[in-house]
Amino acid sequence: MKFRELSIEGVFEITPQQHGDPRGMFMEWYRFDHLAEVVGHPLNLAQANLSVSQRGVVRGIHFADVPRGQAKYVTCVRGAVLDIIVDIRVGSPTFGRWEGVRLDDVDRRAVYLPEGMGHGFCALTDDATLSYLCSETYNPTGEHSVHPLDPDLGIDWPADVPLLSARDDAAPSLADAAASGLLPDYAACMEFTESLRVK
């Protein structure tokens, strides 16, 4: 299992080692001890989600209030998606930057994003199936969105006409979300992450 930190602090791409023979394939797609060693603390597993999307569907950009936020460990078990992580932490040196990682059922990569990040994806195939582990359960009063097609973000979505939910289509721009005080604070996110470290 190889970890590669992306250009946004605390965000990692994980490439598993696949073991195959004529019978099929086996791999470890998540190891709590390896992840904890890399990020500096264990991932509290509180909820596991599965989503199935048709080609061209865009979901996100979603985020949760910090504290407690919601860290995620995401992989694609069928088909392919372009997974997008956006730094929406006000005060972060990489505020507004996004990273895209192809997740598919060939390389079987995963991504880890800590609390305070925005997350979304675009389905590249029909029936693209995403599985993600979350550090907190869903909190409807603490969950928010930023519009995925916000031109200030400039995300290069690989869909001619992205299919959005009504919620995502009505989401504010990054600037409007920041102006309204909706976005997580970088210092608060770092303080919360530090509180997770084993003393």
CA distance 116 to 109: 22
Residues tagged active-site = 62, 132
Contact between residue 129 and residue 50 where contact means Cβ atoms under 8 Å apart:
yes
CB 131 within 8 A of CB 37: no
* Distance (Å) of CA 60 to CA 4, 14, 84, 151, 174: 23, 21, 9, 15, 12
Contact 104, 81 (CB under 8 A): yes
- Check if the beta carbon of residue 131 is closer than 8 Å to that of residue 61: no
